[in-house]
Amino acid sequence: MPRAVSRQELIRKFRALGYSGPFSGKRHQFMQMGRQKIRIPNPHGGQDIGAGLLLEILRQAGVEKSVWDKL
């Protein structure tokens, strides 16, 4: 299971995967690669993004945990 990550680390790793952004959305920012979009959680007082939410974001983006860990 992946560990919790900061919002900045999440953005850095998705950029390494080829995503651009983050861009402003309606309620959340998002990152985009082609037609694929992922929502970026809003910052909440400097708290990290938990492992459960991170797994859901990775599932929606189609990113394998092993690939994520190597970034």
Task: Please report, for the chain, the start and end positions of each structural domain, with discontinuous segments joined by +.
Answer: 7-70
pLDDT over threshold 70, residue 40: yes
Phi, psi of 30 (to 5 degrees): -140, 160
pLDDT digits (tens, 9 = 90+) for 10-39: 999 999 999 999 999 889 999 999 999 999
How far is C-alpha 50 from the chain's CA centre?
11
Query: What contacts 8, CB < 8 A, 6 or more positions away?
Result: none
What is the DSSP annotation of 10-66?
HHHHHHHTT-EEEE--SSSEEEEETTEEEEEPPP-TTPPBPHHHHHHHHHHHT--HH
pLDDT digits (tens, 9 = 90+) for 45-71: 778 999 999 999 999 999 999 999 888
Class of domain 7-70 (CATH, top level): alpha beta
